Amino acid sequence: MKNILIGLVALWMAVPALLAAQSAESKLIGVWEVKILPKDAPPSPLLSIAIFGGDGSFATKVSAKFPPVPPFKGFVDEVGPGYGRWIQSSDKEFKLTFYAVLLKEGAADGYQRVRSTMILSESGNEFTAHETHVDFLDTNWNVVFSSTDEVTGKRLETSE
């Protein structure tokens, strides 16, 4: 009987923590409009739609063709869809890593790796990304070019 009571007390104490963790993680879940302003590349803002899944999954497609200028000239001209994972690192901070295939004339020619720390606004409907680091890799995973981006997001819808 004593073990049953201890188990019930432990469960009673764990439920609020589990519910708080579940509601905190759901803060980012949904569909977002993302604006990307590369700091080290030609100054044209890029747009994408990003989907943050409840299981930590991430998918995006940047609407961009790269200009025929260094560092992209002869390397890539477009980025494919991106897929990755996100985790919550504090109440309003999230870490994201994703990868995309880089295309040259429609064929795979390398990879893009993006690592970012996002801070959610008080309203929970916008984020800014700090420490966004983008690596452009060749097919042997050698870094060809790296960039840092300024990224903002606006929630379009949630899954709730």
How would DSSP label each residue in 20-73? HHHHHHTTS-EEEEEEEEESSS-S--EEEEEEE-TTSEEEEEE--B--SSTTTT
pLDDT at residue 41 is higher than 80: no
Full-model pTM: 0.76
Distance, in Å, from the CA atom of 27 to the CA atom of 120, rounded to the nearest integer, reads 8
For 13-35, how does the pLDDT look when each residue is reduced to its tens digit (9 = 90+)?
443 443 334 444 468 899 999 99
Measured distance CA(92)–CA(123) in Å, rounded: 11
On the CB side of 7, how many CA atoms lie within 13 Å of its CA? 4
More confident residue, 108 or 73: 108
11 vs 58, which has greater pLDDT?
58
Distance, CA of 154 to CA of 151 (rounded, Å): 10
Residue ranges of domains in the chain, CATH in brackets: 28-157 (2.40.128.120)
105-147 pLDDT tens trace: 888 889 999 999 999 999 999 999 977 999 989 899 999 888 8
With bands split at pLDDT 50, 70 and 90, how would you rate the model's confidence at 160? low
